[in-house]
Each structure stands twice: as structure tokens, then as C-alpha cells.
Amino acid sequence: MIEKITNFIKKIIRFLTHDIWRFTGDELSARRMSLYNIIKSFVLVIRNIDSSEINTRAAALTYKTLLSIVPLLAVLFGIARGFGIQGVVETELKKYFEGQVDMIDRVMGFIDSSLEYAKGGVFLGVGIIMLLYTVVSLLGSIEDNFNTIWRIKKGRSYYRQFTDYLALFIIAPVFLVCNAGLSIVLNMTTEFELVDFVLSPVIKLLPVAITIMLFTFLYSYIPNTKVKFSAAFLAGIVSGLAFQGFQWLYISGQIWISKYNAIYGSFAALPLLLLWMQLSWFIFLIGVELSFAYQNVSKFSFEHETKNISRRYKDFILLAVSSIIVKRFADGEKAITADEISTTYKIPTTLMSDVIYYLQNIGIIIETPSDDNGLIPAYVPALDINKLSVSYLIEKMNLYGSEDFVIDKEGALKGVWNQMIKMQDILMAAEKDTLIKDL
């Protein structure tokens, strides 16, 4: 029996780590392939928790949020006051974060002080500018974490940060008011017994549904790239349910919280707040990882092997990607994006991201806006394609990076160094007249 269980576990591990990554859409039905893609996405999330430093990022965002929470809510309530809906926003925040009602009450006093300071600063507008700067800094930090998980090297411009984040803050109070209005309407309809029977479960599930909608919106809005709705929605469902479950456990764990109170006394609110924030950010970032994995799951078939790629194959991918970009330019075709190259030629997405970044650094390619409103960059050659030979690429690859070491290449190791230079010179001479566009 033990041997059967052991073999069964080994088969499952083998299936999840190897076999499932070898299936393609041609071998399986659409439904089974969709199921396998979801399973692979969860495997990728578990695999990438350490490599993406989710715990560290959650801790950093917790610290940043703690410093910015008063200015953040001050801006939110300042906008809400402008619409005359401050009371509704405060009520909805307390309802949404049931585990931190006491902390919200304390923060409200700080918010009033912050708004008074913003209105009565020494210089006109200095207080408002400081509030906005703190808020934009926090949101920029959140976007940086999203972009890093999505393997995006370039974030929003300062102009887009201002416009996009401002739109986010205008939407937030309206969203809370709509939620409050929907709750009131549903509660009014429960006066009828039959309607009450039907709508009672809906009312109970409303906070969960709103959390899922909110998370889905943020997962699609914050990264500086185009996120498919299916990827954002899957991540919104998983992280939204996990967040609501964590909220329930946090509120229900009165014995656990009372133990903190016994140890820290009135100071217990701070470590509890930090714990709540870090776990909330951890859940939120896991959703980011899941949305990225699901959207790019088809390009992760050989992701494990890319960490141990051979020198020959890495050079092959560099030359292949350069050739694809240069030949499209030579043929007068539209500039191609990294995602299109990855999908068309089945290059793993992480390897593709590294190769594109490397070719930009050595001056072979440059970014140009694509047709997607400039949100997703495309790539074109960085110099005259009639001068872009294979030997030129090899030379750029050989010389990129630092050589400022004290290794004795002019003494005991001089013969080895000269032999390596000779080998490179022979290769470059052989490929001197081979243009990349002609490959």
C-alpha cells in the first residue's frame, strides 16, 4: 500500500513538473487544454514565489503603505468631500476593511489634520503638492512591483502616472458610492418575503463579488502592458476569495488577537496592523503572479530549462531574435513586439525578455511604439541594417560588460588570452560579410 501511494505521488509530481508542459493545443481538446493551462499557471505561481521575491515585496509595500496611508486616505477623502460623499466613503471603507475599523477611526483624525495643513501651508499649494507626491510615490512603487513580476523593464512616464493615478482616485469614491447604493437597493427589496429568500444569498456574497471586481480591475489597470481580461479575472477570483477568507479569519481569531493584546497592551494595534497589511499585500501580489502566468502560460513550456540554457543555444536565440527584427524592417513590415516573437517562434517568455533587454543594452535594437497606443513597445534595428553583420553582433556580445579585473592575462595567462582572441578573430573574419538581414 505504501509503495502504491509513493508511486502515485511520484506520478503526480512527474505530471506537474514535466508531462503537463509537453502537451500542445493540437494534442488535446480545447476544454482539457484550458484546464491544463490553469493548473500550469498555479504551478508557475508556486514555483516563482521565491524567484519573484513575493515575501520581500509584500514587506516593502507594507512599509511604504504605512508611511503613506494618511496622505493616501487624505487625498481620497478630499476628493470625496468635493463630491459631498465623505460619510458614504468612510462607511464603505469600514465595511470593506472590517478587521481594521479601530485603525480607520484613528486615521480619520490624522486625515483632518493633513487636509487642514494642505489648505493652510506656508506656501500656497505646498501642502497639496506634498500629499499628491506621497500618493503618487506609493502608487509608483506598486506599479514597479507589478511591472517587475510582469517582466516589464519600463514603467509609465511621469505624465501618464499623473493622469492614470488621478483617474484611479476619481473612480474610487464613485465605486464606493455605487456599492453603497446597490446595498441599499438590495436591502429595500428584502421587505418582500419571496424576494428576500432569493436575494439574501446575493447580499451575503456581495462583498466577495465587489472584491473580485476590484482586484480584477487593478490587475488589468496597473501593469504597464495590455492584460487580457481572462487573466485578470482568474487572478481576481483567486486573490479576492483568499483576501475575503483572510479577513474572516482575522476577524474571527479573537483568541489570537487577545494574545497580542496581553503581550503588547495598547501597542498591539501596530503589530496587528503590520501583520494584516503584509499578508494582504502577499495575497495581492500572488494574484499579480497568477495573472502573468495565465496570460503567458503557453510560453512557459520550457521555462525550467531556460535557467540552465547552454552557451550555444543562448547565442542562437540572440542571433535569431536579431534576425527576425532586422528582416521585418528590411521588408518594410510593421515592427514586431516581444510577445509576438515569443508566441510565433515558441521562445519562453522569460528568455525572450532577457534577450530583448540584452540586445537593447548592446545597441542592436531600440524600442518604438506599437499600434496599441504605445502601451506595448515594438522593436526595430538601432543602426543601418547594411552595416549590421553577424561579426558586428559577435563583437558587441564579446565586449559587453566589465573587463576591469586584475587577472594576469599579460603574464602567466597570456597564452590562454591570446588563443581566445585568435579564436574570436577567426570567427569574426569568417562572418564579416554575412549580414543579419540575409540570414
CA distance 60 to 284: 13
Give the pLDDT confidence of 379-397 residue by residue, as tens digits.
999 999 998 999 999 889 8
Residue 40, all three cell numbers: 500550469
**In sequence order, what are the residues at sequence separation of 6 or more whose Cβ sits closer than 8 angstroms to the Cβ of residue 388?**
322, 326, 364, 381, 435, 436, 437
User: Do 238 and 155 share a structural domain?
Assistant: yes
pLDDT in the model for residue 191: 53
All cell numbers assigned to 436: 543579419
**pLDDT value at position 272?**
75
pLDDT tens, position by position, 109-125: 777 666 666 665 544 45
Find the mean pLDDT for residues 249-259.
Answer: 63
**What is the chain's mean pLDDT, rounded?**
80
The whole-number pLDDT of residue 165 equals: 82
pLDDT surpassing 50 at residue 370: yes
Residues 29 and 170 in one domain: no
Nine-digit cell string for 327: 528582416
Question: What global pTM score does this model have?
Answer: 0.71
Q: What number is the average pLDDT over the span 29-41?
A: 83
Identify the domain boundary among 296, 315, 343.
296
Section 187-216 average pLDDT? 68
Residue 5 pLDDT greater than 80, yes or no: yes
221 SS3 class: helix
| One domain, residues 266 and 162 | yes
First to last CA, the chain: 59
Specify whether 148 is located in the same domain as 217. Answer: yes
pLDDT of 134? 78
Same domain, 251 and 320: no
The total number of structural domains that make up the chain: 3
Same-domain pairing of 110 and 180: yes
pLDDT of residue 168: 79
Q: Are residues 291 and 230 in the same domain?
A: yes
Q: Rounded to 5 degrees, what are φ and ψ at 366?
A: -140, 160
Among 219, 59, 74, which residue's Cα sits nearest to residue 134? 74
Statement to judge: residues 250 and 122 lie in one domain:
yes
**Same domain, yes or no: 14 and 71:** no
Last-in-domain residue among 279, 296, 313: 296
Contact of 351 with 309, CB cutoff 8 Å: yes
Q: Are 242 and 283 in contact (CB under 8 A)?
A: yes
Q: Evaluate if residue 193 carries a pLDDT over 70.
A: no
145 and 86 within one domain: yes
* pLDDT on residue 123: 46
Q: How confident is the model at residue 186 (pLDDT cuts 50, 70, 90)?
A: low
SS3 category, 379? strand
What digits encode the pLDDT tens for the residues 289-334?
Answer: 999 989 888 766 655 567 778 888 889 999 999 999 999 999 999 9
* Residue where a domain stops, chosen among 244, 263, 296: 296
* Whole-number Cα distances in Å, 401 to 306, 396, 397: 21, 10, 9
Q: Which residue segment(s) compose the domain that 372 sits in?
A: 303-438
71: part of which helix (H) or strand (E)?
helix 54-83
Please indicate, yes or no, whether residues 268 and 415 belong to a single structural domain of this protein: no
- Same domain for 239 and 189: yes
